[in-house]
């Protein structure tokens, strides 16, 4: 009897799998590509290298197609002129539900009582106006102190060797942590644990951790919760740190102590995971492109000579530096903007073509492929051109076209729509400040002048800034004469 029931259940399951995997493309739907493996579909290829996989699908199907990935049907839209159809639709498309699932999976975090709009409003208040300028000057002071204190053993004539990625990530993380969390003692321990967790995060998000890795990720996460806990830390009476304020916000929303620690880890990751890698790529591109390095240095030199009493980054525009940053982010920022279709939707493309999206599916934009690496928009998109975003008269170049139509979205490193990065201004100021400090305080060069930038770690597409697979060895020493800041 038991066997008969089991057999019936098994057959039922097989039929369900068959019915679900036998979805066919209906009239007016985007091209459908299910892959050959039932249920999984293209999940393995997607997880291994999403950019390569989606580029292959784009070549095969064009700017819109639906793929099956681990039981989900995901419609990928790669025409930036049509992005607003997705970004502006909050009726048929929802981002909150899948974000909630992801936060639960990665950070074991549930904040059901907090409205996303309330948290967003809190964040926005803390990254603009007076708060922003306080944060930026605190960050600048920490960066300068750390950069110089890390060099105390370093004589002006003595070179230190290090991996550029480790150096950038570690310095920016510690300075960011000190700025937002205002904890002096444990920054190196938090950084060490954070890197372990961050390395495993893409696999954690995709549920593809091996057994040993699962244990490491869980231990690391617990250790970080402990380290970030405000328990035992007495805030200075005069301190009004970002963390302290976030702590009050969570308490007012009725969040218990355990969930608060988990929320701190989410915020630590959100605020610290992108800036270090971005600074690495920027300095890496400069070191491997002498012409670009010279152009940036000469812009800083000219501004310093013309206005010796004003900090070059504070009172002047720096179009060359800005173009280098935009070009760096174009090549190395790879966010995936994803929405759940909560009601059937008709998606109207910029060329007038209409497609039907089914309720229960997902829709996803991957700006890394288009606009950022689209050959129709950016000439030789795989090459770093420091002046790509500069006009001949040295003004910012922001007019680019696809199919003859001027683009609204040229690059999208900060995401877009309801959850666009709230720390954008703070991040830009920080990265420029960091690179400026490096170039003005240190002599910096590649250990091997022939070295190229390492390739990207392909598992990180979709998680913000890309990280390298490997590092770039550099050597540096304090300049003989230090500029006055
Ligand atoms: C190069 C540096 C950075 C890049 C490329 C970047 C990019 C992004 C992107 C793409 C998102 C949207 C994520 C999504 O759609 O799920 C985001 C969200 C966010 N970013 Fe940044 N970010 C950077 C630095 C920072 C910094 C320095 C801070 C603050 C100190 C910050 C604070 C935030 C916050 C709080 C959110 C969440 C917004 C929300 O959920 O509504 N970011 N960032």
Q: Which domains does the chain have, with CATH numbers?
A: 2-108+337-365 (no CATH), 116-333+368-478 (1.10.630.10)
CB 422 near ligand 1, within 6 Å: yes
| Mean local confidence (pLDDT), 121-143 | 93
DSSP strand pairing (64-69 vs 72-77): antiparallel
CB of 216 closer than 6 angstroms to any ligand 1 atom: no
Distance 421 CA to ligand 1 centre (A): 4
Residue with CA closest to ligand 1 atom 30: 271
Give the C-alpha separation, 398 to 406, whole Å.
10
Q: Which atom of ligand 1 is nearest to the CA of 427?
A: 27
Take atom 11 of ligand 1 and give the residue whose Cα is closest.
421
Q: Kindly list the distances between the CA atom of residue 299 and the CA atoms of 272, 289, 294, 305, 359, in Å, as whole numbers in the listed order.
A: 28, 16, 9, 10, 53
Please state the rounded mean pLDDT for residues 85-90.
Answer: 96
Helices assigned H by DSSP within 206-241: 211-228
Say which residue, 442 or 309, is predicted with more confidence: 442
pLDDT at 237: 47
Q: What pLDDT, on a 0 to 100 scale, did the predictor assign at position 21?
A: 56
Structure tokens at 432: 């420029």
Report the C-alpha gap between 405 and 350 in whole angstroms. Answer: 9
Residues 6+ apart with CB under 8 A from 367: 80, 83, 335, 337, 409, 411, 412
For residue 473, the SS3 value is: strand
Nearest CA owner, ligand 1 atom 17: 421
The per-residue pLDDT for 392 is 95
- Taking the centre of ligand 1 as the mean of its atom positions, its distance from the CA of residue 79, in whole angstroms, is 23
Atom of ligand 1 nearest to the CA of 465: 5
Binding-site positions for substrate: 105, 111, 274, 362
pLDDT (mean) for 124-129: 91
| DSSP string for 242-284 | HHHHHHHHHHHTT--HHHHHHHHHHHHHHHHTTHHHHHHHHHH
With tokens 């909630």, the residue in question is 100
Contact criterion met (CB below 8 Å) for 217 and 197: yes
Asked if 363 and 75 touch (Cβ cutoff 8 Å), the reply is yes
Name residue, tokens 């068959």.
18
Q: How confident is the model at residue 55 (pLDDT cuts 50, 70, 90)?
A: very high
d(CA 326, CA 424): 13
**Chain segment 325-377, per-residue pLDDT in tens:** 999 999 999 999 999 999 999 999 999 999 999 999 999 999 999 999 999 99
Tell me the CA–centroid distance for residue 465 and ligand 1, in Å: 10
Per-residue pLDDT reduced to its tens digit, 383-415: 999 999 999 999 999 999 998 999 999 999 999
pLDDT at 16: 56
CA of 153 relative to ligand 1 center, distance in Å: 35
Stretch 312-324: mean pLDDT: 87
Cβ neighbours of residue 254 under 8 Å, at least 6 residues apart? 113
435 lines ligand 1 (CB under 6 A): no
Q: What CA–CA distance (Å, rounded) separates 284 from 280?
A: 6
Cα(39)–Cα(41) distance, rounded to whole angstroms? 6
Q: Which of 4-8, 179-183, 337-341 has the lowest mean pLDDT?
A: 4-8
**Ligand 1 site-directed mutation target among 119, 127, 274, most atoms within 8 Å of CB:** 274
Ligand 1 centroid, distance to 464 Cα (angstroms)? 8
Question: 297 falls in which pLDDT band (50, 70, 90)?
Answer: very high
Q: How many CB atoms lie within 10 A of CB 8?
A: 10
The CA 442 to ligand 1 mean position distance, Å, reads: 29
Whether residue 208 has pLDDT greater than 60: yes
**Is the previous residue joined to 371 through a cis bond, with omega within 30 degrees of 0?**
yes
Q: Which residues pair with residue 224 across a beta bridge?
A: none
For the chain, report the end-to-end CA distance as a whole number of angstroms.
83
Mutate to test the pocket of ligand 1, among 136, 270, 467 (most ligand atoms within 8 A of CB): 270
Give 237-292 pLDDT, tens digit per residue. Answer: 456 788 889 999 999 999 999 999 999 999 999 999 999 999 999 999 999 999 99
- CA distances for 66 relative to 28, 46, 338, 355, 469, angstroms: 12, 13, 13, 11, 30
Whether the Cβ atoms of residue 64 and residue 349 lie closer than 8 Å to each other:
yes
Probe target for ligand 1 pocket from 423, 429, 432, with the most ligand atoms within 8 Å of CB = 423
d(CA 272, CA 294): 29
Does pTM surpass 0.85? yes
**Other Cβ atoms closer than 10 A to 443:** 14
State the chain's mean pLDDT as an integer: 91
Residues annotated as binding site? 105, 111, 274, 362, 421
Please state, in angstroms and rounded to a whole number, the distance separating the CA atoms of residues 137 and 434.
Answer: 12
Q: Does ligand 1 lie within 6 Å of residue 415's CB atom?
A: yes
How far apart are the CA of 175 and the centre of ligand 1, in A? Answer: 17
**pLDDT at position 156, please?**
66
Distance 415 CA to ligand 1 centre (A): 8
Query: Is any ligand 1 atom within 6 A of the Cβ of residue 123?
Result: yes
Please report the atom of ligand 1 found closest to the CA of residue 419.
Answer: 41
Task: Report DSSP state, residue 368.
Answer: I
Q: Ligand 1 pocket, 128 CB below 6 A?
A: no
Structure tokens at 412: 């999208």
Is 347 in a helix, a strand, or coil?
Answer: strand
Q: Is the CB of 120 inside a 6 Å radius of any atom of ligand 1?
A: yes
Distance 290 CA to ligand 1 centre (A): 30
Query: 424 C-alpha vs ligand 1 centroid, how far in Å?
Result: 7
CA of 232 to the centre of ligand 1 (A): 29
Other CB atoms within 10 A of residue 57 CB: 21
Q: To test the ligand 1 pocket, which listed residue (83, 333, 421, 462) has its Cβ within 8 A of the most ligand atoms?
A: 421
Give the annotated binding-site residues for heme.
421
pLDDT of 67 strictly over 70: yes
CB 409 within 8 A of CB 399: no
Instruction: Note the pLDDT tens digit of each residue in 454-470.
Output: 999 999 999 999 999 99
């Amino acid at each position: 009897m038991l066997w008969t029931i089991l057999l019936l259940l098994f057959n039922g399951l097989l039929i369900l799998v068959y019915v679900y995997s036998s979805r066919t493309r209906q009239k007016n739907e985007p091209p459908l590509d299910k892959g050959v493996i039932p249920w999984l579909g293209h999940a393995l290829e997607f997880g291994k290298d999403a950019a390569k996989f989606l580029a292959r699908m784009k070549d095969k199907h064009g700017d819109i197609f639906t793929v099956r990935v681990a039981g989900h049907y995901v419609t990928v839209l790669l025409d930036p002129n049509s992005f607003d159809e997705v970004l502006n639709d909050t009726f048929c498309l929802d981002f909150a539900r899948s974000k909630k699932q992801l936060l639960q999976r990665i950070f074991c975090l549930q904040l059901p009582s907090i409205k996303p709009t309330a948290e967003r409003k809190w964040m926005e208040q803390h990254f603009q106006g007076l708060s922003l300028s306080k944060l930026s000057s605190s960050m600048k002071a920490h960066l300068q102190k750390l950069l110089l204190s890390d060099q105390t053993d370093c004589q002006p004539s003595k070179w230190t060797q290090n991996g550029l990625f480790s150096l950038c990530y570690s310095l920016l993380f510690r300075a960011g942590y000190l700025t937002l969390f205002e904890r002096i003692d444990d920054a190196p321990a938090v950084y060490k644990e954070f890197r372990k967790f961050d390395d495993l995060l893409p696999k954690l998000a995709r549920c593809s951790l091996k057994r040993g890795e699962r244990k490491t990720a869980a231990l690391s996460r617990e250790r970080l919760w402990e380290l970030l806990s405000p328990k035992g830390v007495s805030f200075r009476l005069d301190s009004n740190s970002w963390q302290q304020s976030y702590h009050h916000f969570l308490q007012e929303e009725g969040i218990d102590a355990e969930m608060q620690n988990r929320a701190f880890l989410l915020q630590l990751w959100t605020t610290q995971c992108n800036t270090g890698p971005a600074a690495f790529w920027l300095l890496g591109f400069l070191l491997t492109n002498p012409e670009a390095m010279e152009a940036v240095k000469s812009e800083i030199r000219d501004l310093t000579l013309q206005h010796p009493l004003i900090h070059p980054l504070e009172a002047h525009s720096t179009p060359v530096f800005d173009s280098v940053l935009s070009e760096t982010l174009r090549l190395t920022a790879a966010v995936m903007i994803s929405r759940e279709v909560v009601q059937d939707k008709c998606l109207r493309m910029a060329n007038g073509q209409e497609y039907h999206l089914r309720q229960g599916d997902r829709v996803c934009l991957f700006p890394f492929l288009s606009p950022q690496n689209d050959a129709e928009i950016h000439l030789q998109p795989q090459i770093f051109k420091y002046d790509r975003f500069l006009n001949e008269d040295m003004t910012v170049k922001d007019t680019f076209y696809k199919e003859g139509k001027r683009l609204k979205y040229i690059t999208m490193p900060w995401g877009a729509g309801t959850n666009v990065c709230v720390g954008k201004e703070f991040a830009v100021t920080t990265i420029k400040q960091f690179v400026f400090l490096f170039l003005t305080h240190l002599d910096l060069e590649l250990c091997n002048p022939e070295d190229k930038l390492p390739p990207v770690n392909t598992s990180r597409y979709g998680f913000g800034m890309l990280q390298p697979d490997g590092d770039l060895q550099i050597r540096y020493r304090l300049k003989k004469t230090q500029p006055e800041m």
